[in-house]
Structure 1
Amino acid sequence: MWLYLLALVGLWNLLRLFRERKVVSHLQDKYVFITGCDSGFGNLLARQLDRRGMRVLAACLTEKGAEQLRSKTSDRLETVILDVTKTESIVAATQWVKERVGNRVMWLYLLALVGLWNLLRLFRERKMVSHLQDKYVFITGCDSGFGNLLARQLDRRGMRVLAACLTEKGAEQLRSKTSDRLETVILDVTKTESIVAATQWVKERVGNRGLWGLVNNAGISGHLGPNEWMNKQNIASVLDVNLLGVIEVTLSTVPLVRKARGRVVNVASIAGRLSFCGGGYCISKYGVEAFSDSLRRELSYFGVKVAIVEPGFFRTDVTNGVTLSSNFQMLWDQTSSEVREVYGENYLASYLKMLNGLDQRCNKDLSLVTDCMEHALTSCHPRTRYSAGWDAKFFYLPMSYLPTFLVDALFYWTSPKPEKAL
């Protein structure tokens, strides 16, 4: 990972250099109040800013120091006598400054506003929904990973969990670790008849109360690799689960969620912000982001809140290195001899090595993701988006806001190169 770190540091320094070279406009209208201007740093800074055309208000301890400073500067610069050890002197100087700056907004006000907003946000987000023991939550993909942990987590909170599993074995294992409140149903999100049956099952349990929470968590990684190696089915099989499954389950259960004025939580990914590989996975997560955005706006009229969870790399079945490597090898085997010649054996070996080492780079603490899901379901004021994991917060999410050419360059530098690359 040293190459990634080096690239990140270089990118950060470029961004920092660009940001720091950007200068505030209309400096001639800006007032600056400086203490200790009789000599030293304060004296030099006052003269320096005066030369830049700024409105300098210089506080000196003695009249002699003030006179000497005025003699070396323009008429814009004004001085006041200030002894910072005396309250009455500070009050008088503050009033003198206030008379000159008038009603101009100062940076201190902006800083106070930002601090106040963060305090308000913290207070709002800590306010929890009441009567959680009466709330029903339907979660897909509960055989393992995030869905399994969330089901157990919400069960411990006393909520009425309706857990959808793909296999009976997964359902049995989950029931063995939870209370009698939790109920399971078998659901294959790629089959309409399975979704219809599961929706009816949910409807029978929630009754007139409606469904408080829907968590679309079921997902697969499928085949990851160059798009050129894929066929339509390789991509469609992932979209059927990760995108079309999310859409169909949501459309089937939305009337129940609307009745409860509840929540929809869709699990996307940082791969819905940055497309870092070919195949259906990134496409599906971009689709989940778009679907969630439109759904949120539509359902806001009915008091329903829609949240998107964007995890970074976590150790689940989706990031299983053995499975991903096997699928990648399968793609290689199905490509033409021409494609294999263009990419070369070294490319295959480098990519397989990267996939096999993915497990070691993934975060093991899945609760960082499920805590986001829980907050989206239980907070009176949930967030629109949750970035889970340090890599998502401080690497992938910031990178998604960078200019495209910088992101492209970073991927170019750090990705395996085909043998016939120019």
Structure 2
Amino acid sequence: MWLYVALAALGWALGWLLRDRRALPSVKDKHVFITGCDSGFGNLLARRLARRGYRVLAACLTQKGADGLQRGCSGHLRTTLLDVTRSDSIRRAAEWVRAEVGEKGLFGLVNNAGVANPIGPTEWMRMEDYRQVMAVNAFGTIEVTHELLPLLKRARGRVVNTSSVLGRLSANGGGYCISKYCVEAFSDSLRWVPPPPPAPWSGPPGADGRLCRRRDMYHFGVKVSIVEPGFFKTAVTNLESIEASLRQLWERLAPETRLSYGEDFFHK
């Protein structure tokens, strides 16, 4: 029995290594647009893809972030400013991407921009707290994708949406987990979904599920992936920032609400 277990484990490990070593025949003139490149995953991915020869189009929220990324990178990387909460900023960035990629289209879109705060007990939240996080993590992802879908279709490219393990398991109050559940649902609706079994009755055209086979981006050869990171050391998981946000939420609570929790609740 243990021999079978060992062989299965060895086969799994070899398969993983081979999959990880797979590479495109050529990355020449393949453009990848990445949001949220000021720091963290977006910054590291932009640098790595540029080193591997991709044409990286990196979007940063601040000029300081763009300048820092541009330094030390090859000519394969170009930057632009993007605030994913603003439609006008998204449209400008999309026009810039169109000018960069031309007729080749966009090989990859990585929706990486995200925020976590404020998080905390649900009673501490206000509606604007939810809107603030959803505007970046959920609606920003959706709107950027919408603007760039024609370019992705042209290149038969791929959308990579950064979700989180908290898009599967809600561990705290606030908008973060909710927004990541939204990213998961949007990604699933964007990609192909297996059609239902044939209907047992005769109905109108498409009632047998044929329309579902052409659902969304699968019909155009565009793939959709979700990345679900755990707890990594990034700006989103900065403990000092989270604690400062919690303190602000606590201090703005009504006295009777703080009293219901107990004055030592925040320090537990």
**When the two structures are superposed, what TM-score results if normalisation uses the length of structure 1?**
0.55
The residue identity in structure 1 corresponding to 2:253 is: T
Q: Which residue of 1 aligns with 2:98?
A: 203
Alignment identity in percent?
54
**2:254 paired with 1:346:** no
The residue identity in structure 2 corresponding to 1:344 is: G
Q: How far 1:181 sits from its partner (Å)?
A: 2.1
Map 1:219-230 to 2 at 5 A.
Answer: 219-230=114-125
**2:30 paired with 1:135:** yes
Q: How far 1:319 sits from its partner (Å)?
A: 1.2
Match for 1:274 among 148, 169, 188?
169
Match for 2:63 among 137, 153, 168?
168
Q: How far 1:119 sits from its partner (Å)?
A: 5.4
Post-superposition Cα deviations, 1:213-243, rounded to whole Å, max 9, x if no partner, equal: 1000000112110011111001110000000
Q: Which residue of 2 aligns with 1:179?
A: 74
Taking the aligned partners of 2:16 and 2:242, their CA distance within structure 1 comes to: 40
Taking the aligned partners of 1:121 and 1:277, their CA distance within structure 2 comes to: 33
Taking the aligned partners of 1:237 and 1:201, their CA distance within structure 2 comes to: 26
* SS in structure 1 at match of 2:25: coil
Q: Which residue of 1 aligns with 2:127?
A: 232
Tell me: CA distance 1:349–1:149, structure 2 relative to 1, closer, same or farther (3 Å). same
Tell me: CA distance 1:152–1:118, structure 2 relative to 1, closer, same or farther (3 Å). closer
Matched-pair contact (CA < 8 Å) for 1:225–1:278: yes
Taking the aligned partners of 2:244 and 2:15, their CA distance within structure 1 comes to: 49
Taking the aligned partners of 2:8 and 2:251, their CA distance within structure 1 comes to: 59
The residue identity in structure 1 corresponding to 2:37 is: C
Post-superposition Cα deviations, 1:90-143, rounded to whole Å, max 9, x if no partner, equal: xxxxxxxxxxxxxxxxxx999988976875665455332121122100000011
More relative contact order in 1 or in 2 (CA 8 Å, sep 6+)? 2
Taking the aligned partners of 1:119 and 1:179, their CA distance within structure 2 comes to: 33
Higher helix share goes to which structure?
1
Q: Which residue of 1 aligns with 2:148?
A: 253
**2:219 paired with 1:301:** yes
Post-superposition Cα deviations, 1:313-347, rounded to whole Å, max 9, x if no partner, equal: 11111111221111111111221222111111222
Matched-pair contact (CA < 8 Å) for 1:161–1:181: yes
Matched-pair contact (CA < 8 Å) for 1:152–1:177: no
**2:232 paired with 1:314:** yes
The residue identity in structure 1 corresponding to 2:145 is: T
**2:203 paired with 1:285:** no
Taking the aligned partners of 1:266 and 1:302, their CA distance within structure 2 comes to: 18
Taking the aligned partners of 1:174 and 1:200, their CA distance within structure 2 comes to: 21
Q: Which residue of 1 aligns with 2:21?
A: 126
Structure of larger gyration radius: 1
Taking the aligned partners of 1:119 and 1:220, their CA distance within structure 2 comes to: 37
Post-superposition Cα deviations, 1:56-85, rounded to whole Å, max 9, x if no partner, equal: xxxxxxxxxxxxxxxxxxxxxxxxxxxxxx
Post-superposition Cα deviations, 1:269-328, rounded to whole Å, max 9, x if no partner, equal: 111111110000010011111111111222122221111111111111111122111111
- In structure 2, list runs of 5 or more residues that go unmatched: 193-215
- In structure 1, list runs of 5 or more residues that go unmatched: 1-107, 351-422
* SS in structure 1 at match of 2:45: helix
Q: Which residue of 2 aligns with 1:98?
A: none
Q: Which residue of 2 aligns with 1:360?
A: none
Moved more, 274-283 or 125-134: 125-134
Q: How far 1:258 sits from its partner (Å)?
A: 1.2
Tell me: CA distance 1:196–1:119, structure 2 relative to 1, closer, same or farther (3 Å). same
The residue identity in structure 2 corresponding to 1:333 is: E
The residue identity in structure 1 corresponding to 2:221 is: G
Taking the aligned partners of 1:270 and 1:280, their CA distance within structure 2 comes to: 15
Taking the aligned partners of 2:42 and 2:96, their CA distance within structure 1 comes to: 19
**2:238 paired with 1:326:** no
The residue identity in structure 2 corresponding to 1:211 is: L
Taking the aligned partners of 1:109 and 1:319, their CA distance within structure 2 comes to: 41
**When the two structures are superposed, what TM-score results if normalisation uses the length of structure 2?**
0.85
Post-superposition Cα deviations, 1:171-206, rounded to whole Å, max 9, x if no partner, equal: 111111201221111000000000001001000010
The residue identity in structure 1 corresponding to 2:257 is: V
The residue identity in structure 2 corresponding to 1:182 is: L
Taking the aligned partners of 1:175 and 1:346, their CA distance within structure 2 comes to: 46
Taking the aligned partners of 1:347 and 1:337, their CA distance within structure 2 comes to: 13
The residue identity in structure 1 corresponding to 2:186 is: F
Q: Which residue of 1 aligns with 2:203?
A: none
Match for 2:40 among 145, 148, 156?
145
Taking the aligned partners of 2:152 and 2:184, their CA distance within structure 1 comes to: 19
